[in-house]
Structure formats: structure tokens, C-alpha cells
Amino acid sequence: MITKSNCELANTDFNLGEVLLIDKPMDWTSFKVVNVVRKHCKAKKVGHAGTLDPKATGLLILCTGKKTKEITTYQDLGKTYTGSIQLGIRTPSMDLETEVIKVREFGHITEEQIYKAKSSFEGIIDQIPPMYSAIKLNGKTLYNLARKGKTVERQPRKIEISKFEIKSINLPYVEFEICCSKGTYIRSIADDFGEVLGCGGVLSSLRRTKIGCYSVEDAFEVEEFLKNLSDYQVK
């Protein structure tokens, strides 16, 4: 595995297979990160172990070459996120990617209510995946249907929230840290959290800090990795 603390690029064969920790920048799709790494590593195969939305930042685990066969191993690991929920508004995408469709009063919400709402999300719960997701139904991707203004019925899925900590409250923003099982949509938690409080809410920021035992602190920023790769190739 190639990390900031273990950057051994000498004799690295990315087609033979390598695992990289990358810190995805804001406004990049996970697919763009894969494409950039594939191009500069000259690897035929590169894949990631779990999508991050364009506005989210944080840890991506990339596998190249023969290591792509191990992607599911990393996908199955639990995830840790930090971020913020903005109370008082709702959007179709449950984050700030789409327009606000409803505004509600939030000034009456107390800290006691916020902590009580938080407790209802801890443990094993049912979650309905958002329409703005990459899930396929009858061969059609949900987010493509959502962008056409269509909504279809989705079946709830079992997920586990092993930790939901409120880091700070500065209305309308609630800062949090969540540890969860694979397949958890933090946008859906933000939306449901707002509904429990009766004022609506959207995910206003998100950063993935851990996948299993792997930390974003050990991950390369994209430009940092490319520079190290270029320096080695020049030598």
C-alpha cells in the first residue's frame, strides 16, 4: 500500500497491482480521481472502493492492476465521516447540489431536541436510499431518473450507525462525526434528521476520514501524489 508515510515508488508496477490512499478534493468526482491516476500511472485498470459525492472530500482507496480484485475487501469496511447538517431547508438531493424547495423555521430547536434526535439514528436502522444515488433499479440509475424529476419507490436497507457524535451546534448548523457500515447514505441521515426535528435539513459539508483502519491523514492529495510520481519517473 502506498501512503504518505510509505511512498516507495521505486520499481512500482501499477499494472501488477498497488493500493493507494488518496484525499479526494472538493468538486472532483471519484471517477475523475480514478481517471487522473490511471493516466499518470499508466495502469490499464484502476478502481475505487467507495464513491464520494463531488462536494465531499476525503479518503478514497484506489486499487490498480491485479489489486482491483481486492476492491470488495475495502468496500466492505466501515466508514467514518465528519460534516455538518444545515437545518431549516430541504433540497431534492438532500445536500446543496440542488435548489432549495422548502424553507422552515429552525430558531426554536433546542440542543436537547438535537441530542434526542441523534439518539434515534444509533444502532441498526432502516434507511431508504436517496433518489440522487448510483443505485440501479430495473437497469436505470436512480440519479438519472431524479434529474428528470422522476421518483420511484425504493426499498429500505439495513445499515448500522455505531457512532453518531454531535461535535458542535451553531444553528442552523450541526457539526457531527458518524461511524457507519457500508452502504450508508449520510445525505439521507441529514434529511431524516431534519424531519425528526420538524424543520428539515440538508447535508452542507462532508469529509470521509476513515475506511476501516485506513485514515485520510495517511492519504496523498492528488497533486502531491502526481508530483511524487513525476519526480520518480524523471529519475
CA distances from 21 to 81, 110, 129 (A): 16, 40, 27
Q: Please give the C-alpha separations between residue 12 and each of 7, 42, 79, 175, in angstroms, as whole numbers.
A: 10, 11, 28, 40
Peptide bond into 172 cis (omega under 30): yes
Alpha-carbon torsion, ordered 92, 95, 101, 107, to 10 deg: 140
58 within 8 A of 36, measured Cβ to Cβ: no
Q: Which residues have a Cβ under 8 Å from the Cβ of 10 and sit 6 or more positions away? A: 232
Angle at 30 between CA 28 and CA 35, to 5 degrees: 90
Does the CA dihedral 175-55-225-33 come out positive or negative? positive
Catalytic position from the list 23, 53, 95, 192: 53
Buried b (16+ CB within 10 A) or exposed e, 126-137: ebebbbbbeeee
Is 27 one of the catalytic residues? Answer: no
The catalytic site residues sit at 53
